[in-house]
Amino acid sequence: MNGMAALLQDLIAYGPQLLDGLGNTLLLTGVISLTGILGGIAVFYQTLSGNQICRKMTERYISFFIGTPLLVHLFLMYYGLPRLGVHLSPLVVSVIGFTLNVSAYNARHLMTAYNGLDRMEIEAARAQGFTPPEVFRLITLPQALRFSVPSLTSQVIQNLKDTSVAFLVQYPDFFAQMQEIASTNFAFLRVYVTAGLVYLILVSAIVVAARHLERRVFLPGFAVR
């Protein structure tokens, strides 16, 4: 009890700092989720390109960022670029690194949904004279987005959890602030359990919102084949 009381006192004492850190975590999560879906759509569009070289380069981009650790990309930008005279803030490094990574994952989610679509509708649109960009914008993308909602919302949850590594490039997120408390009172177990509970609450809120969104976009009797 004394330990929990001490932890509570620390949380109250560091309250403003923790709230700032939580705000930074939510900010980064929101930004990379938005840029990640926009980047994912752009990458997904390139996977459907009629240019074989473009498709291969896009596939290599996806394979590279899915197959390599996010932390490596963040470290390369934050600690490597300054040697070339390029200095970026922790927020900019985090946004760029996460966006490149998340875009690859989102493109893969959209590709999976696309592979399950009924191609007759797409072929019918082409037969009616729709241009490739029009087919993508009016038919392919809306359906792919609809069917990949569960995967995309799961990616948002993953984005939130992954932001906890941003403190390694000096981004003052929530986990960084909890780490500072742990280094002050040495109550590592209690501090990290508390941090985990906060992340669990945030993830639960995203899950509730995701389920609501899935119910809104679900079409009864219309499923991916």
pLDDT digits (tens, 9 = 90+) for 139-190: 899 989 988 888 999 999 999 999 999 999 999 999 988 888 888 777 778 8
Superfamily (CATH) of domain 2-217: MetI-like (1.10.3720.10)
- Three-class SS of residue 214? helix
Measured between alpha carbons, how far is 32 from 147 in angstroms, rounded to an integer? 21
Measured between alpha carbons, how far is 87 from 69 in angstroms, rounded to an integer? 22
Report which of 38, 11, 55, 182 is spatially closest to residue 99, judged by C-alpha positions.
38
Q: Which of 35 and 213 is assigned the larger pLDDT?
A: 35
pLDDT digits (tens, 9 = 90+) for 60-74: 999 999 999 999 999
Tokens of 53: 């070289």
* Domain range list for the chain: 2-217
What one-letter code names the amino acid at 164?
Answer: S
Place of tokens 């949904």: 113
Confidence of residue 225 (pLDDT cuts 50, 70, 90): very low
pTM: 0.86
Report yes or no: 14 and 188 within 8 Å, Cβ to Cβ: no
**What is the C-alpha end-to-end distance of the chain, expressed in Å?**
56
Neighbours of 206 (CB within 10 A): 17
pLDDT value at 91 more than 90: yes
Give the relative orientation of helices 90-115 and 149-162 as an angle to the nearest 10 degrees.
160
